[in-house]
Copies of this chain bind each other. A is one copy, B any other.
């Protein structure tokens, strides 16, 4: 199996297909135009400069285009760069597809769908079950494809579903330990808490924020959607609906993190904590995977910019 771009060392040469994730024009200090390309495969991404770019290059080398590149890994200001020797667009005949270059969840879409269905089967409260079922039906396709975020954690195809399914597994165990917890409520909160991201994020490949995402954000959007869905299902006014809206609203834990109300219901507090654990473990596992025992990871911005150490012993 070929080594991905994320695993090449400085000084190695490279000759393979890559996907253009982002492309920007610039003018060099000698007055000539150049392009900055962000290239990726499923193992990571790298920056490359295309010097003396011609006008047709700008129309050819656009985001979501697959290219064949021969070059060398160099270093600039402490970050890897790919020095381009030659570049060309991939041919249809070469049989490469955009999906082959994008990172995916380590669990298959079908398995994720199945786990979600199982969770709903376990639920007994009819109001909560109907609400959750209605949302899953409405967002069936996107839910199984979207990342959980534009960056930081679960930022890959099916990332959102992967995040939900992991959280459900934690919830199941915590419910066993703390039987006072209302499992149906916790399940419903977990499944719905981030569905507003389907409106906040632009899509699955080169994910950016929508205007609605920037001006309102996924949390208030989802609170609104639960209200409307309850109206459609004619369960408006049920306490379950209010509590679910509260759980979505409060799941970031604090006002300064985007939740105008902090968790004020036990299951809301637990939802917040389970979300934290799964997001942090996802970031940590992937960062530690890239370093050797005895080394520190790169600084992880969403983890307060810490570098983590990977012990040598087992």
Task: Contact check, A306 vs B211: say whether CB atoms are below 8 A apart.
Answer: no
User: Quick check: is A276 within 8 A (CB to CB) of the other chain?
Assistant: yes
Q: Mark A36-63, 1 if CB is under 8 A from B, else 0.
A: 0000000000000100000000000000
A215 interface residue (CB < 8 Å to B): yes
Tell me which residues across on chain B come within 8 A of A311, comparing CB atoms: 182, 185, 239-240, 243, 265
Q: A26-B76, A228-B227, A264-B215 are in contact. Are A180 and B273 (CB under 8 A)?
A: no
| A27 at the binding interface (Cβ < 8 Å) | yes
A8-36 interface code vs B (CB 8 A; 1 in, 0 out): 00100000000000000111010100000
Give CA–CA (A44, B276) in the complex, Å.
33
A256 on the B face (CB < 8 A) = yes
Evaluate whether A308 and B220 lie within 8 angstroms (CB atoms) in the complex, with A27-B10, A215-B243, A227-B228 already known: no
Which of A111-119, A141-149, A280-288 touches B?
Answer: A280-288
Does the CB pair B169–A177 fall under 8 Å? yes
Chain B nearest CB, measured from A10 CB (Å):
7
Complex interface residues of chain A between 256 and 314 (CB less than 8 A to chain B):
256-266, 269-270, 273, 276-277, 280-281, 284-285, 288-289, 296, 303-304, 306-314
Q: In angstroms, how far is the closest chain B Cβ from the Cβ of A43?
A: 17
Name A27's contact: one of B76, B169, B211, B243 (CB within 8 Å).
B76
Chain B residue numbers with a CB within 8 Å of A25 are: 75
Given contacts A220-B260, A260-B260, contact A309 B211 (CB under 8 A): yes
Q: Smallest CB–CB gap between A172 and chain B, Å?
A: 9
Within 8 A of B (CB), among A144-175: 166, 169-170, 173-174
Contact between A269 and B240, CB atoms less than 8 A apart: no
B242 touches A216 (CB 8 A): yes
A173: nearest chain-B partner, CB-CB: B173
Tell me if B31 and A215 are in contact (CB < 8 A): no
Interface flag for A191 (CB, 8 Å): no
Q: How large is the interface on A (under 10, 10 to 19, 20 to 34, 35 or more residues)?
A: 35 or more
Q: A83 contacts which chain B residues (CB < 8 A)? A: 27, 31
Bound complex: CA A9 to CA B289 (Å): 45
State the Cβ distance, A255 to closest chain B Cβ, in Å: 5
Q: What is the interface of chain A, defined by CB distance below 8 A to chain B?
A: 10, 25-27, 29, 31, 49, 72, 74-77, 81, 83, 125, 127, 166, 169-170, 173-174, 177-178, 180-182, 185, 211-212, 214-217, 219-220, 223-224, 227-228, 231, 238-240, 242-243, 245-246, 249, 255-266, 269-270, 273, 276-277, 280-281, 284-285, 288-289, 296, 303-304, 306-314
Q: Which 6 residue pairs of A and B lie closest in terms of their CB atoms, listed nearest first?
A: A27-B74, A173-B173, A215-B246, A224-B224, A224-B227, A258-B260
Question: 6 pairs across A/B with beta carbons < 8 Å?
Answer: A26-B75, A180-B288, A215-B261, A215-B265, A240-B313, A266-B310
